[in-house]
Amino acid sequence: MAKTVDFYYDFVSSASYLAFKRLPAMVSAAGGEIRWKPMLLGGVFKAVGNSSPVLIAAKGKWMFDDMKRTADKHGFAFSVNPSFPLNTIMVMRGAIAAEKMGPEVLDPYMELMFDSAWATGEDLSKPEVVMELMEKAGLPAVEIANLAQDQAIKDELRANTEEAVARGTFGAPTFYVNGEMHWGQDRLDAVMEALEKDA
């Protein structure tokens, strides 16, 4: 059986961005694979009674400062999005649509959306911004946007969110390896240890 990591994420989550920038290469080097699980973090929060740590001003400031230190340590950009919190329902549906088109579309789509949210500070809540970003990146923008409106795509995002809650998820990123849950971008070593045990 292939070694797999279920990766629940939302582009609104800065911690998911930090994990995305590091974990795929780590899992690939270990001979494993990631099953991407786009979800709506706001839906998870509502279901479990959680809320964003940035609602506590001092904690939010510390968190973003710490994320900047982490990004600097690993050599990639990070900045707080001026439009945060973002409404990501459109781009999360887009992630499912992009996955249906294959890794040649999904991989650059995810890189673009995460970088746009947490490196260059784009407002992913605005359809016109998202379309322009995809077009400039050479992605099939119209096809992704159209497919993202299909009811089946909307239902899949809802199902992913409900599945995440049912499995015990309360935030993002959350990872599952062989049924074992790990939460947070600072737990990637634990994720990899669990992956190595996965037979």
Q: Domain range for residue 50?
A: 4-197
Contact 164, 37 (CB under 8 A): yes
pLDDT at position 60 is 83
Residue-by-residue pLDDT tens, the chain, 199 positions: 569 999 999 999 999 999 999 999 999 999 999 999 999 999 999 999 987 777 778 888 988 999 999 999 999 999 999 999 899 999 999 999 999 999 999 999 999 999 999 999 999 999 999 999 999 999 999 999 999 999 999 999 999 999 999 999 999 999 999 999 999 999 999 999 999 985 5
Q: Provide the pLDDT for residue 57.
A: 84
pLDDT at 52: 77
Calculate Rg over the CA atoms of the chain: 16
Cα–Cα distances in angstroms (integers) from residue 70 to residues 50, 64, 84, 151, in the given order: 24, 10, 20, 38
For residue 183, the Cα-to-chain-centroid distance in whole angstroms is 13
In total, how many domains does the chain have?
Answer: 1
Tokens of 52: 């964003």
CA–CA dist 168, 32 (Å, integer) = 23
Output the domain CATH number for residue 39: 3.40.30.10
Q: What is the pLDDT of residue 92?
A: 98
- Block residue for tokens 């590091």: 22
